[in-house]
Amino acid sequence: LVPRLQPFTSTIFAEMTALAVRAGAVNLGQGFPDTDGPAGMLAAAQEAIATGINQYPPGPGRPELRAAIAEQRARYGTRFDPDTEILVTVGATEAIAATLLALIDSGDEVILFEPYYDSYAASVALAGGQRRVVALVEEPSGRFGLDVDALRAAVTPRTKAILVNTPHNPTGTVLTRAELTAIAQVCQEHDLLAITDEVYEDLLFDDREHVPLGSLPGMAERTLTISSAGKSFNCTGWKIGWVCGPAELVAAVRAAKQFLTFVGGAPFQPAVAHALRSESAWVADLRASLADKRTRLSAGLAEAGFGVRAAEGTYFVCADVRPLGFTDGLEFCRALPDKIGVAAVPVQVFTDNPDRWRHIVRFAFCKRDEVLDEAISRLHRLR
Ligand code: PMP
Ligand code: GLN
């Protein structure tokens, strides 16, 4: 393995899921739902297979999906030409990798907020770039927010892009319009690209609003907006994602993408187009049910003795293990499946400063209520 990829040999999700399976544990580690997406979407995929949509789709993605993505983005007031400004990818993961491969040159710096989703650091490394990491800071409310001064201090003459994830995995933070405006100012002052990961755009609670960075004044021309179907429609295994942005930048991403996978998921593309157009009521129910699950798991964790942090969106909640007498989240998560039959993931592995995050672990709540209740009753055995 080449040196630049040596830090990335295995993911924490694979490690913790393997431990969970071996121990027969309730897996609140890797985030994936345990129920299916909307019936109409599942039927649309079956129909697509039955009616012969089984060969390579067009390079940019099937036209009905690109049109549906353009319509969906219009709800934020952003306009994309489906022919030149939208590219369908194999999940958001490929969109992120192809974007970085296309736009980051050897030695260019990319600013990430930590904790960062694991693929960001690996994809920056694949591209030969360097990451500069800015820590989110814990506020008295238990929310992890943006430190604008730290962001400004991280910009150097080599900085090429800022990668922004909101709603944020793993903290559950939803960046506010004010925080995003501050990021937009930094991008414009230093002529930086913005790359946004909005895969949790539909999963936010308590009347919060998702604000795409690319919808702010002066940002459309410098932003690549990435999202995918997996989280909004409970189909994480379908791996249908997309990137939207100015034609010239999307053409660059397409150049990289065509040699990674060329295309993917032909029969799922019309099904996701259907979901984007016709399943907003189903998504509203999902959002309401996840808000309840957030409350259920957060209360259960607090009763079990954890220091529970705020979850404003996504399907994750972070918790401090110190009140239970533990000091290291990685050790805690490695022992947990065998000890009490629950799996979680340590947040320190998503950072460059593990000491700062050592006490925080992440639990996923995208599970049936009875599964959450079983996990909670097992977690009570930690006391
Ligand atoms: N970004 C974040 C923040 C995620 O949590 C995930 C899901 N694991 C992804 C990207 C990847 O999305 P996809 O499955 O569409 O590749
Ligand atoms: N996005 C999911 C999570 O954060 C899982 C991703 C993965 O397994 N690579 O848990």
Sign of CA dihedral 312, 317, 318, 322: positive
3-state secondary structure of 226: strand
Distances from the Cα of 213 to the Cα of 179, 224, 350, angstroms: 10, 9, 23
Best residue among 17, 30, 203 to mutate for probing ligand 2's pocket (most ligand atoms within 8 Å of CB) is 30
141, 260: one domain: yes
**CA 31 / ligand 2 centre spacing (Å):** 5
Given a cut of 90, whether residue 200 has pLDDT beyond it is yes
Express as a percent the part of the chain with pLDDT over 90: 99
Confidence at residue 215, expressed as pLDDT on a 0 to 100 scale: 98
pLDDT (average), residues 18-46 = 97
- Encoded tokens for 249: 């930048």
Q: Which mutation among 30, 99, 117 tests ligand 1's pocket best, with the greatest number of atoms within 8 A of CB?
A: 117
Specify whether 16 is located in the same domain as 148: no
**In this model, does residue 319 exceed pLDDT 90?**
yes
Residues 365 and 265 in one domain: no
Whether the predicted pLDDT of 383 surpasses 90? no
Query: What CATH number corresponds to the domain at position 161?
Result: 3.40.640.10
User: Which whole number is the average pLDDT over 185-213?
Assistant: 98
**For position 346, which CATH number holds?**
3.90.1150.10
Q: How high is the mean pLDDT of the chain?
A: 98
Count of the separate structural domains present in the chain? 2
Summarize the confidence of residues 112-136 as an average pLDDT: 98
Average pLDDT over residues 373-383: 96
pLDDT digits 0-9 by tens, 74-112: 999 999 999 999 999 999 999 999 999 999 999 999 999
Instruction: Kindly provide the ipTM of the predicted complex, given to two decimals.
Output: 0.97
Residues 359 and 246 in one domain: no
**Boundary-marking domain end, from 225, 247, 278:** 278
Q: Is the pLDDT of residue 259 over 90?
A: yes
**What average pLDDT does the segment 239-256 reach?**
98
Domain residues for the domain of 184 are 39-278
Same domain, yes or no: 232 and 329: no
Task: Clarify whether residues 55 and 137 are in a common domain.
Answer: yes
